[in-house]
Every structure is written in C-alpha cells, then in structure tokens.
Amino acid sequence: MAEVLHAPAPSASSAPAPIPPVGPPPGAELRALESVQGAIARPSVVRAARAMSLFGEHAGGWLALGTLGALTDCRRRRDWLTATAAVALAHGASIGVKRVVRRPRPDHPQVQVLAGTPSRLSFPSAHATSTTTAAVLFGALLGRPLAAAVVPPMLLSRLVLGVHYPTDVLAGSLLGAAVAAAARRRRPSLRRISKCGVLQRRLSR
C-alpha cells in the first residue's frame, strides 16, 4: 500500500497574529468617570470644557502661543522654539502610543459623550500630554507656575466631556512631563523659572 503523505500544518509563527486592542478599563474607572460627570458636568462647566477641548485640539492653541512667544521675545527665541517643538513632539508621541495601545473611548450608557473627537482611540489623552509639556516649559519662560494652574483643569475637562478614562489623562500628563524633562535636559535655560519673566512683570506694574 502506498504511503499517504500529509502536508505539514502551517506554522503558527509564520504569520504573526495581530495585536488585539486593549479593552476598556475596569469598572472602577467607569464609575469614577460617571461620578465626575454627575458631580460637576453642569452647562457652564461643559461649555468651559468644550472651549478647552477646542484650544487643545492637535495642540493647536499651545503651538500658537509658543510661536507668538518666539516672535515677541527675540532674546529667548531659541528657548521658545525648543519649547514649542517639544509640545509638537509630545502631541505626536501621544498619537503614536494611541495607535499601539488602541483602547477605545468610553462608550457606555452611563457615560455622556459631550464633545466630538478626531479618533476613537483613548489612551493616552493627547490634550493632557501637550498641555503638560506646554505648561511646564512655557511656564518657565513666562515666570509663572502654569502647570499647577492649567494641567488639572485640562485633565478634568476630558472626564467632564466623557471622552477619556482617568488613566488616559494621567498617562498623558506623565508622558507630557517626560517630554518636558527631555527638553530641559537639552536646553538648560528651560529648567528654572525665568527671572526675566518675573522682572518684566514687575516693571509693567
């Protein structure tokens, strides 16, 4: 009897399986998001959150401010350009991480989605990333602690609008802080609050 030869089964390693998207976070995050909306998502707060969303979309508002600083502060133009480039880099890095992680945005009956978004990807928050980088670096140039003033409201606004989970905004802010730290290492003049900015404010009084 002739021996029947069977073709070998295709190796599982010959075609790598696609990386599955990361699902939504555990129920605790969902409950936290629902609690934030229930506590403060009043019409006036939602309007302010939408304005912040528009300002931070694609880091446009921060890039415009950085460009304005470079145009008006000739003595520290390189510092402003470095800081603005870091904001652009931070935004790009957040988009890259989103495409790898691929966590979907909140889509639950108990969460109100109160703003449009350019994509369905949620982790990390690009608004949080670029805002943190800009606040740290621009704050040093302006002589103002911008990070404490603008980062928490921006992070909270993303929860109010129902477009991110808490870990999305926290991770985004950490990424933004890391980019700002790298920019400071590259340009030491960005490491501290500028005395020039403080002096200018005193003279203008």
Task: Give tens-digit pLDDT for 48-74.
Answer: 999 999 999 999 999 999 999 999 998
The answer to whether residue 4 scores a pLDDT higher than 50 is: no
pLDDT band per the 50, 70, 90 thresholds, residue 25: low
Distance CA 163, CA 157 (A): 9
Q: What is the pLDDT, as a whole number, of residue 181?
A: 94
pLDDT band per the 50, 70, 90 thresholds, residue 23: low
Percentage of the chain modeled with pLDDT above 90: 63
* Whole-model pTM over 0.75: yes
Q: What is the pLDDT, as a whole number, of residue 71?
A: 95
Q: Are 157 and 53 in contact (CB under 8 A)?
A: yes
Give CA separation, 106 vs 53, 72, 102, 173, 191, in Å. 16, 41, 12, 19, 37
Q: Are 158 and 169 in contact (CB under 8 A)?
A: yes
What angle in degrees, to the nearest 10, is found between the helix axes of 77-101 and 60-72?
170
Give CA separation, 121 vs 28, 146, 159, 165, in Å. 20, 28, 15, 11
What angle in degrees, to the nearest 10, is found between the helix axes of 126-142 and 60-72?
20
What average pLDDT is seen over the chain?
84
Q: Which of 6-10, 119-123, 127-131, 134-138 has the lowest mean pLDDT?
A: 6-10
